[in-house]
Structure 1
Amino acid sequence: MDEHVLAGYARPFRGKLYMHALGSHIPLRLSRSDDKFSWGFTPEDDWLQAGGQQDSLVMDFHFESRGENRLHYHISIPGNPETKKLGVSRNGYLGFYWYAEVTDFWKIEPLHLSAEGLLCHLRDHRGHRVGAIPDAPHHSGNKVYLLNVDEGQIVTFLLKPTN
């Protein structure tokens, strides 16, 4: 693994992830129960999605270890009094959990280090890459994508440290 990647990312840090598609950086957001016109089930907040008008949310990347070409992290949203941790639902969707015990780490697979940050794949603890599924219709009128490790178009991400 590149020594510059190790020096900048093989440590705990606070940062933002963006879905990198068609030459642009699409911010990540948390879902809200009023995002859809009709969910077909009782909606919940805090599924990780890509799209919208606001900047990506800030996340803490708690460095766990490294593999031959992967960096392992526990990912959370800073908060009081407890921290929301990134996990995967039974259907493969990414979401932040308050109370569920999230013990599995996430893998960052570095692809290219640039002046903007680290282009990478985000993988779950099994090594499955995160894909994007269009979430339509979306109440906001914006293009929004659900993130999933079992389905969807595999996407790359831009990881930008903020500290």
Structure 2
Amino acid sequence: MVDLVDKSFIATLYSTKAGRSGQVGISAQRTEFDFAESGWLQIVGHGLRVRPIDFHFQFVEDQGDRIHYDITCASRVDGYLGKKLGRSSGGYLGLYGKNEITFFWKVQPHAEWYGQQERHFILRDYEGHEIKSYYNNRDGDRYLNAYEGAPLSFAVRIKEVL
């Protein structure tokens, strides 16, 4: 089997947690000026206006039990192509301009990452916070959040190894 640990790739990201499973996407713009309410990561099917996207996982380093990646949007959706995955001050995950985000993401694999097209893992921010699903009472949507909510597990389905 081929060792893919130190490779970058493009993949579809899924939540595999029961009751919160589905493809990860972004909240879409309602209008062309709706930037404050768009670009936040959600699970498709658990939000009113979520658009599915693919992600580019750019390998940074292997730390043994965790692999570090820079993660960007790999889809042409609402101008988010190439925007970098980041975390707001409230813990919400969203897509930002590349110069706004300077940290990496930690992927903690559930098993060895050799020769598989689908990989299962826990996603953590650069400070080690496990990514969760947070229910927002205001709009009824579930957002990915580093500070609050129910812990999630993830899988990627690799579309292309770079």
TM-score relative to the length of structure 2: 0.77
Q: How does 1:61-80 map to 2 (within 5 A)?
A: 61-78=57-74
CA deviations 1:101-131 (Å, max 9, x no partner) are 2110001000136966111100000111101
1:149 matched to which residue of 2?
146
In structure 1, stretches of 5+ residues that fail to align are 35-41
Displacement of 1:33 in angstroms is 4.5
Q: 1:9 to 1:136 in 2, by over 3 A?
A: farther
Instruction: Give the fraction of aligned pairs with identical amino acids, expressed as a percent.
Output: 28
Matched-pair contact (CA < 8 Å) for 1:27–1:55: no
Following superposition, the deviation at residue 43 of structure 1 comes to 3.8
CA contact (8 A) 2:117 2:158 kept: no
3-state SS, counterpart of residue 18 of structure 1:
strand
The worse-fitting range, judged by mean Cα deviation, of 23-32 and 144-153 is 23-32
Equivalent positions of 1:25-40 (< 5 A) are 25-34=21-30
Partner of 1:161: 158
1:39 aligns with: none
Q: What's the counterpart of residue 11 of structure 1?
A: 7
CA contact (8 A) 2:44 2:51 kept: no
Inter-CA distance 81–24: structure 2 relative to 1 (3 Å threshold): closer
Instruction: Please tell me the residue identity of whatever aligns with 1:21.
Output: K
Give the whole-Å Cα distance in 2 for the aligned partners of 1:117 and 1:76: 19
Q: Compared with structure 1, are the counterparts of its residues 93 and 84 closer, same or farther at alpha carbon in structure 2 (3 Å cutoff)?
A: same
Per the alignment, in what secondary structure is the counterpart of residue 64 of structure 1? Answer: strand
- Structure 2 CA distance for partners of 1:23 and 1:93, relative to 1, 3 Å: closer
* Alignment root-mean-square deviation, CA: 3.1
With 16-25 and 87-96 compared, the bigger mean Cα shift is at: 16-25
Q: Is the 8 A contact 2:62 2:68 kept in 1?
A: yes
Match of 1:38 in 2: none
- After superposition, where does 1:1-163 map in structure 2 within 5 Å? 7-22=3-18, 25-34=21-30, 43-52=36-45, 56-78=52-74, 83-98=82-97, 100-112=99-111, 117-135=118-136, 144-163=141-160
Distance of aligned partners of 1:123 and 1:152 in 2 relative to their CA distance in 1, 3 Å threshold: same
Once the two structures are TM-superposed, the CA of residue 138 in structure 1 deviates from its matched residue by 5.3
Letter paired with 2:42: Q
The 8 Å contact of residues 12 and 53 in structure 2, kept in 1 or not, is answered as yes
